[in-house]
Structure 1
Amino acid sequence: MNTVLPLLEAPPRTLQLPDSAREGLARTPFGLYVHVPFCATRCGYCDFNTYTADELGPGASRAEYAGTAIAELRQAAETLGPDLPTVSTVFVGGGTPTLLAADDLAAVLAEVRRLFPVTPGVEVTTEANPETVTPASLATLRAAGFTRISLGMQSAAEHVLAVLDRRHTPGRAVEAAREARAAGFEHVNLDLIYGTPGETDADWSASLDAVLAAPVDHVSAYALIVEEGTRLARRIDRGELPMPDDDVLADRYEQADATLRAAGFDWYEVSNWARGEAARCRHNELYWANANWWGVGPGAHSHVGGLRWWNVKHPAAYAGRLLRGESPVQDTELLDDDDRALETVMLGLRLREGLPLTALSEVGRARAARAVVRGLLEPGAHAAGRAVLTDRGRLLADALVRDLTD
């Protein structure tokens, strides 16, 4: 079982890493995640740790956020030093990072480079909503060293965007992708959501066609999940909208996979397709490999050498702690060998390469053999000692992970 390590009532100035977490720090891939918790409006399906201007209250602001995030980066360098790990990826997510001025995001990246050794060819990603970027802001980000952008498209159908409470108009995501390419971004991703109430087969086909008309080398497609407490969940509970249908979700996924494959995209994780290995999101691969990362920002999660921690959630509480020179960490847990092995299976099985059968327990290996018979795992890979999902297995990946790890 993982061990929860409660923090002192008065937070320490910085997090203290146990010796066990430091072992292998220099040899393990390391990334930085920077969470920007601001949104112009709240999307009806979203349960992320984000805040609109009306929800922020006193003590936090967009204008001061870059400086606050930089303060945590300095704590990170102090905690991880003196032999700092080399940063191989930086991912700025949200929320809507591009609600901050491009110069602010550039300042955060400049501080990363000042504080940490950085891999040549470091991947630097920002998420963005299509309506929050311009050719000028994209040029500023590219000049600052951002190499990759992930644009939240969701759908090409106006009525689907309306159900999701998205603000951009159909076509704007593709236009923004073209602007990003023109600004020199090496890699451009579009995010899609399928299974929204009211989405038709024609709507989904149009969304896939729109993606393929854009100059992108990466596509992420996620089934709509109705999260408890969201506006979408309340509308479904009231009977205003139907619950997403599992059979429809499966059909949408298969259509996406077939369409993207025909256009030269290969899946490398259940919900992600790329035009070749260079186009894969290396930061997400770092997560899936259970490597090390430090999450900066309110509610951000981190993992270093089996120690996992998460920050206080509200931006005002987060800013207040850093202003006082305190750690923003809310709590920590130390994973034991069983916990880490379980996470390796849960994450690794979703990858195209799968995972070695030796990562499974004896019971798990027996169930994997049965999964081959059921057509969920590839027989050739199984014979070679690996568990690799078939096309059908991808549709049932979550259930199969539970079966192999129970």
Structure 2
Amino acid sequence: MPSVLLDGDAVPASGELPSGALRGLGARPFGFYVHVPFCATRCGYCDFNTYTATELGPGASRADYAATAVEEIRLARRVLGDAELPVQTVFFGGGTPTLLPAEDLTEILRAIDGEFGLAAGAEVTTEANPESVDPASLERLRAGGFTRVSFGMQSAAEHVLTVLDRRHTPGRPAEAVREARDAGFAHVNLDLIYSTPGETDDDWRASLAAAIEAGPDHVSAYSLIVEDGTRLATRIRRGELPMPDDDVAADRYVIADTMLSQAGFSWYEVSNWATSPQARCRHNLLYWTGGDWWGVGPGAHGHVGGTRWWNVKHPAAYASRLAAGSSPGHAREELSAADRQVERLMLELRLDSGFPLAEIAPKARTAVARAIGEGLLQPEPFKRGRAVLTLKGRLLADALIRDLT
């Protein structure tokens, strides 16, 4: 028996899912998330499940990681049975996936294709730090089947990058975008972070201008969240840096939406803008619209048919479980119909397509009317039976969602 309670139900050693989760398998879009938990250095704001070389300890190795991940993909095939599940999207995140050789990432992708089959036109994304790629590695990734790359730019201001503990120079993301384009990537994203302590409005405008000038077809922009246990949180607690201000973050969001819209980008999710429907991240849309996915890697989360599970976090424990022929699953939960409906509202209302008004609980109808009156929902989609956020509504999305659930 475990010495502490799990934060969910135990996952069987076989990884077997509840029978109810397998009903309708194949009718919903299916994808893979592959977590690569390695970083060259730890950024001060990051609380993701990542490890530098000195933090790995015995029993885990970058060199063995691809083979270990392939074992979990084979486990996924056994658990999901013979159902036809053409994989619509694959997303390699981290960490920094491109710290592994392109050949290792391609080996994992080939295993997914071999076990499940990639759908025609499947989207295959890898995250990358700008300094973790070069023209040759990008060409190998593209030749290996990757179709999209997402670079962590964060800022164009050197002093902001210093606060975030980012190691690339301000001009490197633009070079990386150009190299990706030259390698044949049609779809390239830049990730930005705003409201870092010490950042000014002009710093943020310069970062947006640099991102737009670099020529991606997708931009993600996130307000900095100070996570407990991070080096950034410690510095703020000591008074070395100020806590990010919510009003400043709202102003920065408006600046982002204005500049990106003027440059030909359209928002399709609260924190994401794309130059065309084809440029939208289909993998994230799979998450946001209730699809199924298998999460590969330490700490990775998966979801199939209302059952959500998560793997053990440390790479050594992950590798040990798979080497013993067992699931690396740490715990899981089965979502009730009510839970799934609440999650659907939380996710879909953040999209430009909005949420069906008819599916909002009767007790929340007063809140809907109030949101229209306060300019949080667009009137025209409302007339067509959809709740779609205005710009003001996007700024207050979390509070509005609470009112509607």
In the other structure, the counterpart of 2:266 is 266
CA distance in 2, matches of 1:338, 1:167: 44
Residue 117 of structure 1, CA deviation: 2.2
1:7 aligns with 2:31: no
Letter in 2 for 1:45: Y
Residue 5 of structure 1, CA deviation: 6.3
CA distance in 1, matches of 2:84, 2:317: 28
CA distance in 2, matches of 1:19, 1:100: 36
Could you list the runs of 4 or more consecutive aligned residues of structure 1 that deviate by over 3 angstroms after TM superposition? none
Letter in 1 for 2:48: F
CA distance in 1, matches of 2:358, 2:303: 24
Q: Provide TM-score, normalisation by structure 1.
A: 0.97
Alpha carbons of structure 1 residues 5 and 206: separation in structure 2 relative to 1, 3 Å = closer
3-state SS of the aligned residue for 1:365?
helix
CA distance in 1, matches of 2:385, 2:95: 41
Residue 86 of structure 1, CA deviation: 1.3
- Counterparts in 2 of 1:147-296, with a 5 A limit? 147-296=147-296
In the other structure, the counterpart of 1:361 is 361
In the other structure, the counterpart of 2:103 is 103
Are the equivalent residues in 1 in contact too, given 2:15–2:326 (CA < 8 A)? no
CA distance in 1, matches of 2:118, 2:314: 30
CA distance in 1, matches of 2:370, 2:288: 25
Count of residue pairs brought into register by the alignment: 400
Letter in 2 for 1:7: A
Q: Deviations over 1:327-354 (max 9, x none)?
A: 0000111111000000000001100010
Are the equivalent residues in 2 in contact too, given 1:5–1:334 (CA < 8 A)? no
- Counterparts in 2 of 1:40-189, with a 5 A limit? 40-189=40-189
CA distance in 2, matches of 1:143, 1:399: 45
Which one is further off, 188-197 or 376-385? 376-385
Residue 35 of structure 1, CA deviation: 0.1
Q: Provide TM-score, normalisation by structure 2.
A: 0.97
Which one is further off, 374-383 or 301-310? 374-383
Q: CA RMSD in A?
A: 1.2
3-state SS of the aligned residue for 1:243?
coil
CA distance in 2, matches of 1:353, 1:365: 19
In the other structure, the counterpart of 1:308 is 308
Are the equivalent residues in 1 in contact too, given 2:66–2:105 (CA < 8 A)? yes
CA distance in 2, matches of 1:117, 1:108: 13
Are the equivalent residues in 2 in contact too, given 1:181–1:215 (CA < 8 A)? no
Residue 358 of structure 1, CA deviation: 2.2
Q: Deviations over 1:200-255 (max 9, x none)?
A: 12211110111111121000000001111111011000000001111111111101
3-state SS of the aligned residue for 1:40?
coil
3-state SS of the aligned residue for 2:180?
helix
In the other structure, the counterpart of 2:349 is 349
Are the equivalent residues in 2 in contact too, given 1:60–1:316 (CA < 8 A)? yes
Residue 19 of structure 1, CA deviation: 2.1
Letter in 2 for 1:57: G
Residue 136 of structure 1, CA deviation: 0.4
3-state SS of the aligned residue for 1:352?
coil
In the other structure, the counterpart of 2:380 is 380
Provide the identity percentage: 66
Which one is further off, 218-227 or 353-362? 353-362
Are the equivalent residues in 1 in contact too, given 2:126–2:149 (CA < 8 A)? yes
1:319 aligns with 2:322: no
CA distance in 2, matches of 1:230, 1:358: 42
CA distance in 1, matches of 2:84, 2:227: 38
CA distance in 1, matches of 2:47, 2:363: 35
Are the equivalent residues in 2 in contact too, given 1:77–1:84 (CA < 8 A)? no
CA distance in 2, matches of 1:369, 1:300: 39
Residue 257 of structure 1, CA deviation: 0.4
In the other structure, the counterpart of 1:333 is 333
Letter in 2 for 1:206: A
CA distance in 2, matches of 1:122, 1:188: 15
